[in-house]
Amino acid sequence: MSVGRVAVTRGVLLRLREQLEFTKRGKELLEMKRDNLAAETNRLLAKINARHEFEQRLMETYSALRTAYMTLGYSRLQSQASTVIPLEAKVRLRSVMGVLVPEIVRGKESTINSVIDPSAYAAAQQMTESLGKLLTIAEAEARIESIAQELMLTNRKVNALERVILPGLMETLRYIEGRLEEETLEEFFRAKRVKAVIRGTK
């Protein structure tokens, strides 16, 4: 808001004071949102930190699967794999401080009790465990991505309010208050002068 273009009236002053109060409350709310999002990010980061360990585990799982392939061959392993009842999972959206984040809802766990060959069972077991961890990490990563974007946006808004809008409003308010005070003094002085002139002519 350019200070020079503002109409210097009491009405504008009152409106600006209301606007300032509103903006301060908005800033507080945005700060709260930012803090909550940051806390959620920190919580998710702990889950994502397990990714490195998970990647190593996944390598071991693939190695087990390769050994099973080598021991049984494609057709036998494929046959063993056909008995596996796959894991059921759905992705739905959930709101965290107004940010839509994906949530993985797990249904029936996968069943591998009909996998009989020991090498196939060992690979299936590792694969099932890895899949569970993979879902947790994928959910955390997708969430953190949405939250990080919102966090950046909120931070910008807070910064804009803190460094541009609020100082601007306060400056305008100070300008109007100053001008109004000057006008009051001028009025007072003018009234005194008028009174003196009237008294002098009498």
Partner 1 sequence: MGRGASVYLVTRTHGLRTHLITLRDMQNLARAKNLRDVSDSLLKTDYAIELGQLPTHEQDAATLENVILRKLVERFFFVRRSAAQGKMQDILTRYCARFEVENIKRVIRAKHGGQTAEESNLIPLEREHTLVNFPALLKAKDVDEVGSLLRDTQYHSILSKLQPYKESGTTLILEAALDKIYFSRIWELVDKIHGTRNLIGEEIDLRNLLTLFSLKTRGVSPRLIEDATIPISYALPKTTLQSLIQSRIEEAPILLRGGYSKLASEAASLLKAGSSLLLERVFFRYLYGDASAALMTHPLQAEYVIAYILLCEAEAKNLVSIVTGKQLNLSEEEISNGLFGV
List binders of partner 1 among 107-146 (CB under 8 A). Answer: 111, 113-114, 116-119, 121-123
| 61 lies in the binding site for partner 1 (CB under 8 A) | no
Sign of the C-alpha dihedral computed for residues 167, 172, 173 and 175 taken in this order? positive
At 175, the amino acid letter reads: Y
Q: What is the Cα–Cα distance from 171 to 165, expressed in whole angstroms?
A: 10
* Residue from the set 82, 98, 198, 201 that interacts with partner 1 by CB under 8 A: 82
DSSP secondary structure letters along 66-112: HHHHHHHHHHHHHHHHTT-BPPPEEEEEEEETTEEEEEEEE-SPPB-
Q: Is 31 in the site for partner 1 (CB under 8 A)?
A: no
Taking the least distance from each CB to partner 1, the nearer of 20 and 84 is: 84
Give me the least distance between CB of 103 and partner 1, in Å please: 27
Residue 66 lies near partner 1 (rule: CB under 8 A): yes
Binder of partner 1 out of 45, 59, 85, 93 (CB under 8 A): 85
d(CA 8, CA 173): 10
- CA-nearest of 24, 10, 3 to 168 is 3
* Under rule CB under 8 A, residue 74 binds partner 1: yes
Task: Pick the stretch among 47-55, 62-70, 133-141, 190-198 that binds partner 1 (CB under 8 A).
Answer: 62-70
Q: Tell me whether residue 24 or residue 66 sits nearer to partner 1 (CB atom).
A: 66
CB nearer partner 1, residue 81 or residue 148: 81
Q: How far is the CB of 65 from partner 1 (least distance, A)?
A: 9
Contact 72, 120 (CB under 8 A): yes
Q: Which is nearer to partner 1, 82 or 201 (CB)?
A: 82
How far, in Å, CA of 86 to CA of 89, rounded? Answer: 10
Considering only CA atoms, give the Rg of the chain.
34
Contact call for residue 178 and partner 1 (CB under 8 A): no
User: In the numeric block, which tokens belong to residue 161?
Assistant: 């309010």
Binding residues for partner 1, per CB under 8 A? 64, 66-75, 78-80, 82-85, 111, 113-114, 116-119, 121-123
